[in-house]
Amino acid sequence: KEAALYVLSQMLSDFQDTEKQISPEAASGFVDFTHYAMRQPDAFLRARGYLIAGSLTRTSGDALQQYAASFLEASLQAIS
């Protein structure tokens, strides 16, 4: 699971480097897996989920704006 998130992270990073966006359909398809990862007891898997949440929000344009606040809130709760 963590390896799949790592590959997704690298792909999203490439999109960011080339200033391209992923399709809304593709971005929406990763939301459930991202939420799943963010709720796991394994710290590394959870951390990878938070990283993916940020990258997905940045590379999807406005497609995931409805999730942006919940992703941010979950990240802030994890810090405190």
> For residue 80, what pLDDT band results from cuts at 50, 70 and 90?
confident
Stretch (H or E) spanning 41? none
Per-residue CA distances from 79 to 26, 46, 72 (Å): 28, 12, 11
| Count of beta carbons in the 10 Å neighbourhood of residue 46 | 17
Q: Is the pLDDT of residue 48 over 90?
A: yes
**12-30 pLDDT tens trace:** 999 999 999 999 999 999 9
Domain boundaries, the chain: 2-17+24-79
Q: Is the pLDDT of residue 75 over 90?
A: no
CA 38 to CA 15: how far, in whole Å? 22
Q: What is the pLDDT of residue 25?
A: 92
